[in-house]
Amino acid sequence: MKQTIRLQDIYSADLYTRSRASELRACINENANEITLDFDGIGFMSRSFADEVCNIIDDLKDKTFSFTGQNDDVATMMTKVREGRSRERKRGIGNAKMYEFKDMESLSKFLLTM
């Protein structure tokens, strides 16, 4: 059984938060095995939202998912997040400096140089 979920019917044009993405789970028909997520009318999808969509897809391995109606931003975000999840995370070597101040006077001297 096929199911198409039109995201604009559930959300506004901007998909911002992870917890709102998790609401998609409840929209998926348990008898459907081919799910199409229709992004038509969606202008922006956050990284968090995209990552949660990936969680749903990974959790529902008995179903196949496809996307339609994505603009460039939405399509690129989904691709980047999916790629990122399958490779080891690399962090840049930071040049962070740590400071500790005993009193307001010494802290002030530092802050006033910023």
Q: What's the angle, vertex CA 89, arms to CA 76 and CA 25, rounded to 5?
A: 55
Applying CB under 8 A, does 68 fall inside the site for another protein? no
Taking CB under 8 A as the rule, does residue 61 contact another protein? no
Min dist CB 29 to another protein, Å, is 22
Under the binding rule (CB under 8 A), the answer on residue 97 touching another protein is yes
Candidates 46, 65, 67, 69: give the one binding another protein (CB under 8 A): 46
24 binds another protein (CB under 8 A): no
Question: What gap in Å lies between CA 40 and CA 10, rounded to an integer?
Answer: 12
Return contacts of 108-113, CB within 8 angstroms, 24+ apart.
Answer: none
